Amino acid sequence: MCGIVAYLGNKPARSLLIEGLKRLEYRGYDSAGIAIMNGKLHVVRAVGRVGTLEEKLDQLAARGEYDGTLGMCHTRWATHGGVTEVNAHPHRDDRHGIAVVHNGIIENYSALKTYLKEKGHAFSSETDTEVLAVLIGELYEGDLEAAVQAALREVDGAYAITVICEKEPDTLVVARKGSPLIVGIGADEYVVASDAAAIISHTTHAFALDDYNVVKLWRAAGADGQMVYEFRTSTIHNVPVTPKIEQLELDLEQIELGGYQHFMLKEIFEQPQSLRNCMSGRIDAKDGKVTLGGLANFARDLTRAKKVILTAQGTALHAAMIGRYLMEDLAKVQAQTEYASEFRYRNPIIEDGTVVIAVSQSGETADTLAALHEAKDRGALALGVVNVVGSSIARQTDAGVYLRVGPEIGVASTKAFLGQVSVLTLITLFMARRRMMSADHCADLLREMEQIPAKIERILEQAPRIKRVTEKYIDRENWLFLGRGYNFPTALEGALKLKEISYIHAEGMPAAEMKHGPIALINEGMPAVFIANKGRQYEKVLSNIHEVRARGGHVIAIATEGDEHIADHVQDVLYVPEISEPLSPMLTVVPLQIMAYYAALARGHDVDKPRNLAKSVTVE
C-alpha cells in the first residue's frame, strides 16, 4: 500500500531509486514520483506505472538535473484525492523546498489543513501528505529532523515518511508509525524502503523502524576531506533510540520472475517447495510430534486454552476459517474467526484462557494489527501466524510461527494461503497432542502432511487442462463457488481469487446455503464450482450439484482421484489426490488458484497488479 524508496550515498540515485521502486510496485501502482536533490530539489511525477515515470525521467535526464546522490521516490495507492499527477507524491511545502513521500493516512489532516490555511499556506493537491509537508515547513527553523519530530507530534494516523529539504542537501529524515520502513546500511550509502525487496541488491545490513521512531541520515566531510556517513535514531520526542541492526534474510532470486510470466504463476508453482520449507524441522511423523520453536514457551497456555479467536482479513481470513474447523475438530477447543476490522470495533469478550491468533502474510495489515492490539489490551495471549519476518504483527505478538514460504509478490495471495493453513494445522496438532489426540492419530496426519507437496505437484501437472476448462466459461460474468465443512472456506477463497484478478463477479458460500436465496441467480450456463472431494458431506454436496444442474447451471467439480461416478453428474471434473478431510483444503484450493490465474490471463488483465488493489493494506 504505497511503496517508498529513498537513497543517500555515493552513487547516482536516479536509476537506483527506479530499480527499487519497480520491486515495490506490487504495493500500489496508480501513480509514481521521484525527488532528486541536485543543488535544488527536482521533482517528477506521473500517473500510471513506474515505467511511465521512468520514461518521463529519461526525457528530462539529458538536462543533468536528476544526477544527484540524494533522492526518494514513491509508488501510490490512492487514499485521499483521485489518481492525478497533482496528487502523486512527492509533495512539497510552500516555503523551504521540503519534499515528503508518505505511506499511510494522516487522520487529522483536515483540521491541520484549516490551521495551516489560517497561517497563510497554500495547497495544490487534495492529499493528506501535502498537509504534512506544509506542516513540517511551518515548523522548520533550520533543523529538518527537529521539524519532522515536531510535526509528527501533531499528527494522528499512520505514516512511513521520508523527507528531504533544499536547505539541508546532505540530509535524509525518515519516520514511521503503523506503516513499515526499513533502513539499509551499506558502505557509504543508505537505502530506505518500505520493504527489504528494494534494499537487498545493495546491502543485507538493515534495521526496521519502530513506531514513533525518527531517523536522521546525513553525510559531512571528515577531517581528511572524505565524506563520512552517519545516522541517529530517536523518538518523535527526541529521546535517543538504539536500533537493532540485523541481516536481511532474503535472496534476490526469490523476488525475481525466474522465467515465469507472472509472480502469481511462479508462486502457485512454488507451493510444493514452500510447503516443504514450512514444515521442515517442525514435523516428527514417527513419534506423532510437532515442534514449533516460537510457541515452546506457551505450550501450557495452549494446552489450557478455553477459546481461540482467529482474526485476519481476505485470504488470510479464509485460512483462519479452516484453522477454526481444525481446532474444533482435532484439538477440541472452542474456536471462532473474526474479520479483524469488525473485531477491533466491537466489544469482544476476552476471558481468561483466550488465545487470539492474528493471521497475515504481510504482517502489516492495519485492521489485523489493530485487532491484535485490542486483544492484547484485553489480556489475551496474542499469537501471530505471519510470513514477513520482523513485520509489525510479528514483532507485536507475544509469540508466533512464521510461514517460511518466501516472499509473496503477486497481489493475489496463493502460497501464503497454503502456508497459513499448514501452520494452523501444525498449531492445531501441537495443541491436540497436549489435549486429547493420540500419538498414532497425530502421526497419521503428519505422514499425510509430508505427502502434500508431492500431491500438489500432481495437481500442477494438470494446469493445461485446468486452463482449458476455465476458458470454456470465460465469457460468463457470474460464478458460484460452493463447498461444505472444511471446504466452505476453500469456496470463499476460490471466489475471492477469481474476482480480484479477473473482475468476474463470483460468490462463495456453503453449498447448503445456496437454496436459501442464491439459487435464484442460477440460469442456463452459469458456472458453479463445487468442491466435491470425498468426505463426510460428499453425498450432500452431490444433492446440491443436482439442484444446480436442474436449473441449467454448469458444474465444475473439484473431486477426489478415482471418483469416476461424479463425472456423470457434472460438466467438468478436476481431480485432486486423495487425502484426509481436515487436510483437503491444501489440495482443493490449488485448481481454484490456477483457474483464477488463467481466467485473468484470458481476459487480458495484469495478473500481478489487479485494478484498485495493493498487496499490503496498511490503512483501515
Angstrom distance (rounded) from CA 165 to CA 181:
20
Whichever of 121 and 615 has its CB closer to ligand M6R, that residue is 615
CA proximity to 412, closest of 168, 133, 158, 610: 610
CB of 275 to ligand M6R, least distance (A): 17
Give the torsion sign (CA, 461, 321, 398, 372): positive
Smallest distance from the beta carbon of 392 to ligand M6R, in angstroms?
Answer: 10
Phi-psi region of 336 (alpha: psi -120 to 50; beta: other; left: phi over 0): beta
Decide if 183 contacts 175 (C-beta within 8 A).
no
Q: Which three cell numbers stand for residue 351?
A: 476471558
Sheet holding 213-221, edge to edge: 91-92, 98-106, 157-165, 168-177, 213-221, 227-235
Q: How far is the CB of 291 from ligand M6R (least distance, A)?
A: 25
Distance CA 581, CA 416 (A): 21
Matching residue, cell 463445487: 530
Q: Which residue number, 91 or 497, has a Cβ lying nearer to ligand M6R?
A: 497
Please state the closest distance from residue 541 (CB atom) to ligand M6R, in A: 25
List, in order, residues 6 or more apart from 4 with CB less than 8 Å away: 24, 72, 73, 74, 101, 102, 103, 160, 161, 162, 181, 192, 193, 194
198 vs 592, which CB is nearer to ligand M6R?
A: 592
Of 140, 132, 68, residue with least CA distance to 104: 132
Exposed/middle/buried for residue 213 (C-beta within 10 Å: 0-12, 13-18, 19+): buried
Interface residues with ligand M6R (CB under 6 A) are 313-316, 360-362, 365, 368, 411-413, 496, 500, 616-617
Which residue, 201, 619, 605, 189, is CA-closest to 411? 605
Can you tell me the distance from the alpha carbon of 337 to that of 317, in angstroms, rounded to the nearest whole number? 8
Q: Which residue is nearest to ligand M6R (CB)?
A: 314
Nearest CB to ligand M6R, comparing residues 69 and 341 = 341
E strands in 107-212: 157-165, 168-177, 182-186, 189-193, 205-208
Nearer to ligand M6R, 365 or 397 (CB): 365
Identify the bridge partners of residue 215 per DSSP, sorted by sequence position: 174, 233
Give, in order, the Cα–Cα distances in Å from 316 to each of 36, 194, 384, 425, 614.
Answer: 38, 21, 12, 14, 15
3 state DSSP class of 438: coil
Would you say 202 or 404 has its CB closer to ligand M6R? 404
Among 365, 371, 366, 367, smallest CA distance to 387 is for 365
Distance CA 533, CA 403 (A): 26
Nearer to ligand M6R, 354 or 593 (CB): 593
Least distance from C-beta 367 to ligand M6R, angstroms? 8
The catalytic residue among 2, 73, 278, 442 is 2
Is 615 considered catalytic here?
A: yes
Q: How far is the CB of 610 from ligand M6R (least distance, A)?
A: 8
347 φ, ψ to 5°? -120, 70
The DSSP-derived string for 219-245 is EEE-TTS-EEEEEEEEETT--B-----
Question: Minimum distance from CB of 23 to ligand M6R (Å)?
Answer: 17
Q: Which is nearer to ligand M6R, 53 or 316 (CB)?
A: 316
Min separation Cβ 25 and ligand M6R, Å: 15
**Per the residue annotation, which of 56, 216, 497, 615 is the catalytic one?**
615
C-alpha 96/C-alpha 144 separation (Å) is 10
**Is 56 a known active-site residue?**
no
Q: How far is CA 232 from the centre of its chain?
A: 30
Which residue shows C-alpha cell 514417527?
A: 286
Report the residue number, 233 or 360, with the smaller CB distance to ligand M6R. Answer: 360
Cβ 236 to ligand M6R shortest distance, Å = 27
CB of 617 to ligand M6R, least distance (A): 5
Which residues are marked as active site? 2, 615
